[in-house]
Structure 1
Amino acid sequence: MSEKNHILRPGPRQAQRPDPKMTCFAAVPRGAEEIAAHELEQLGVGDVAAGRGGVSFTCNREGLYRANLWLRTASRVLVQLALFPCLSPEELYAGVYAIPWQELITPAMTLAVDCSLRDSALTHSGFVALKTKDAVVDRIREACGSRPSVDTAAPDVRINVHLSKNVCTVSLDSSGDALDRRGYRLERNEAPMRETLAAAVVALTGWDGSIPLADPMCGSGTIPVEAALLAAHVPPGLKRSFGFERWQDFDERVWKRLLREAEGGMQRLPLGLITGYDRDSRALALAARNAALAGFEGQVHFFHAALEEFQPEGDKGVVIINPPYGKRLGDEDELRELYCQIGDVLKKRCRGWTGFILTGNLELAKYIGLKASRRYVLFNGPIECRLLKYEMY
């Protein structure tokens, strides 16, 4: 393994440690790669390159912490340890064993292995994960005399193995829990939108907090809260912990400085900037609780109203709607009327505003009855969606 990939060092956590360059990969919902690449460029990391399902980049330890704290659209940040050809279980074991795991994991720590496979000779992810685990603990036992335990629920170190076209990439997952787990949404209503997808939708609208934003079908409030985090300059990772905090080389001094810097730049939202509406009282209660947990009690406002009663305040702004599209919630026949209603509300109630509809059903979208000026492809999990833009002159 090359010197630049020796990313972690053992020793006292308070000691001064070298800060080498790391090769990283931010996993991103499909369709949001360019948004995440722009986010990373704004954070000042190097060699940013968007690809399918994620963005590669290089950074030092501070850049890694900053990426986890601030990325709104990424789901994980992985730090590459090794890259090698892998056609057999023996090559997998040898490649993993060659990594100096004793520098990264002590016998007192716990670990877990995540695995993804594509177009490779090895086809069973459970077997690959088990073989990887064996190589890791054997190397540590050889060096230290004892081995770490496996904890799949809350490990100290999460190892990621990605095997694609017989090339194996072994990485450490610096995020721990997925980055969409911001810490503000404790309860989830039926078929919720992931926070990372909501952030991607807000980013694609171009909304920057200078004009109002309204969500007439807000559910548990994910889109309004993600918009609030953006407008108030609040990092989405402020209220959670990360995997790198349990690493051997964790630099608490740098991390605390980044948190202080972030807290110093946060702003209070103007009254009425962001509003959410829904006909479901339970969903609205969840939305208000989520907004409060995110730090926006009294700043993001929610109203009990059916779609046909929606009337935005002001002569211009952005309306975002994420209606059901018959994949998980609601029957397609019943939803046609809803999509007709969305078109009517945009035409009659939202003049001067810009409307955005996220749907995974283009047949239903025809019932909106308006011509979209732009279409963006996004994936809601496995469902290919379109974010449709409507200029309501």
Structure 2
Amino acid sequence: MTQYFATVARGLEDLAAQELESLGAQHVSTTFAGVGFEGDRSLLYRINLWARLPFRILMQLTTFSCANDKALYRGIQSIDWSQYLTPEQTLAVRATGKNPQLNHTHFSALQVKNAIVDQQRQTFGERSSVDLENPDLAVNIHIQGSRCTVSLDSSGGSLHRRGYRPAVGAAPLKETLAAALIQLSDWTPDLPFLDPLCGSGTLPIEAALRGLNIAPGLFRDRFGFEFWHDFDVELWDQLQQEAEEQELSDLPNFIGGSDRDPEVLDQARHNAYSCGLSEQIVFQQREFADLEAPADSGVLMCNPPYGDRLGRDQDLAAFYKLMGDMFKQRFKGWTAFVLTGNLELAKCIGLRPSRRFVVYNGTIECRLLKYEMY
């Protein structure tokens, strides 16, 4: 069994742990912004393919005592990097964490890079080039106290970049956060789903992917593990084929989004097209005040502007009041969820939430507010 670590958004650790367990992870434990677990190579591939909440899946190589830069250099050189990297392959190093002697992540990453390429020169007489964008091998180190943990990034780029969304509107939700909000809502595909402020369509698209049982990793061009020396192409092909065979052909109920901006709706339609959902999601240009419920019951979820990213707007308080009025008047029988980073604006909705979930949209502490409309 190999030790793995999934990096996740702050506040979503328990939710991500549940997802990883459902995919077969063993000995799961949560920590700040991450989930540790164990499994085999098949599990590593499967989680990269299927998990909707993590950013990266790291495979742990070793830990060692690391009080200062010299100890860091020695510890990295104690690893036989020829098992993982040849001079023809490119390299990137990402460092997180710190201690009193290693308190700058850029410096720590540079020390690690130097230790690796110095070993390569001694072994091969040549060294790998650095590629920060698309490296063949991404090394991750995390320094906590006097210990350093060294891992390989099996995901490559962050898993929130599904690969279907080249077009984004202003202040878009990360796909991983959108998936987490949907999971928190307890929405099931037999219920209608509507985002009346859909922007570039992330929430309806993530709902449709879940509703059709489509693995989000199928849209990505590459994963980090595909460039590892022990990459099992047959196993990977098999897992992708199995994922494609498990897809459903049609959604059991309505999933849609609306927005007042025709240009941002074009982006949403383009993103839906990129993952084969053009015929599954209904996008409409509509003012919020003209909104009508598409069914007698369902889940409404939206991420209205809350000032911190899109700029303060004198009309935001009035808009939040409008949301509350619309929920009461036109969405009886529905459950509404509003993500906001501005609790003062949230009061303008004028309704008492039945639940509040703390989540982070980037660095902004937000609340996902649940309103049950009887």
TM-score range, shorter chain: over 0.9
Q: Structure 1 residue 210: deviation in Å? A: 1.2
Which aligned pairs between 1:236-275 and structure 2 lie closer than 5 A? 236-240=216-220, 241-270=222-251, 273-275=254-256
TM-score, length of structure 1 as denominator length: 0.93
Mean Cα deviation higher: 146-155 or 222-231: 146-155
* 8 Å CA contact retained: 1:30, 1:52: yes
* Partner SS, residue 237 of structure 1: helix
- Aligned partner of 1:78: which letter? L
Q: Structure 1 residue 311: deviation in Å? A: 1.0
Partner residue, 1:69: 49
* 8 Å CA contact retained: 1:277, 1:303: yes
* 8 Å CA contact retained: 2:17, 2:35: yes
* Partner SS, residue 226 of structure 1: helix
Please tell me whether residue 92 in structure 1 is matched to residue 65 in structure 2. no
Please tell me whether residue 344 in structure 1 is matched to residue 325 in structure 2. yes
Please tell me whether residue 146 in structure 1 is matched to residue 126 in structure 2. yes
Partner residue, 1:9: none
* 8 Å CA contact retained: 2:191, 2:253: no
Aligned residues: 373
Partner residue, 1:83: 63
* Partner SS, residue 194 of structure 2: strand
Please tell me whether residue 331 in structure 1 is matched to residue 315 in structure 2. no
* 8 Å CA contact retained: 1:272, 1:299: no
Partner residue, 1:128: 108
Runs (4 or more) in structure 1 with deviation over 4 Å come to none
* 8 Å CA contact retained: 2:98, 2:104: no
Distance in 2 (CA, whole Å) between partners of 1:271 and 1:286 is 25
Cα distance change on mapping 1:118 and 1:349 into 2, 3 Å: farther
Mean Cα deviation higher: 226-235 or 31-40: 31-40
Q: Structure 1 residue 35: deviation in Å? A: 1.5
Structure 1: any 5+ residue segments left out of the alignment? 1-20
Distance in 1 (CA, whole Å) between partners of 2:319 and 2:21 is 40
1:168 counterpart (124, 148, 172): 148
Distance in 1 (CA, whole Å) between partners of 2:170 and 2:291 is 22
Distance in 2 (CA, whole Å) between partners of 1:370 and 1:120 is 48
Please tell me whether residue 383 in structure 1 is matched to residue 343 in structure 2. no
* Partner SS, residue 90 of structure 1: helix
Percent identity of equivalent pairs? 48
Distance in 1 (CA, whole Å) between partners of 2:5 and 2:182 is 23
Partner residue, 2:30: 50
* 8 Å CA contact retained: 1:120, 1:166: no
- Aligned partner of 1:344: which letter? D
Please tell me whether residue 359 in structure 1 is matched to residue 346 in structure 2. no
* 8 Å CA contact retained: 2:212, 2:251: no
Partner residue, 1:183: 163
* 8 Å CA contact retained: 1:114, 1:160: yes
* 8 Å CA contact retained: 2:190, 2:252: no
Q: CA RMSD in A?
A: 1.2
- Aligned partner of 2:346: which letter? A
Q: Structure 1 residue 141: deviation in Å? A: 2.6
Please tell me whether residue 105 in structure 1 is matched to residue 85 in structure 2. yes
- Aligned partner of 2:254: which letter? L
* 8 Å CA contact retained: 1:272, 1:301: no
Mean Cα deviation higher: 62-71 or 325-334: 325-334
* Cα deviations by residue, 1:297-347 (Å, 9 ceiling, x for unpaired): 111110110111111211110000100100011424321011101101111
* Partner SS, residue 148 of structure 1: coil
Partner residue, 1:291: 272
Q: Structure 1 residue 74: deviation in Å? A: 0.5
* 8 Å CA contact retained: 1:278, 1:307: yes
Q: Structure 1 residue 270: deviation in Å? A: 3.1
Partner residue, 1:33: 13
- Aligned partner of 1:222: which letter? T
Q: Structure 1 residue 32: deviation in Å? A: 1.3
* Partner SS, residue 348 of structure 2: helix
* 8 Å CA contact retained: 2:194, 2:300: yes
Partner residue, 1:17: none
* 8 Å CA contact retained: 2:195, 2:256: yes
Distance in 2 (CA, whole Å) between partners of 1:22 and 1:74 is 18
Structure 2: any 5+ residue segments left out of the alignment? none
Distance in 1 (CA, whole Å) between partners of 2:211 and 2:251 is 10
- Aligned partner of 2:41: which letter? R
Cα distance change on mapping 1:84 and 1:180 into 2, 3 Å: same
- Aligned partner of 1:260: which letter? Q
* Cα deviations by residue, 1:133-178 (Å, 9 ceiling, x for unpaired): 0111122232333221111121100111111223211110000111
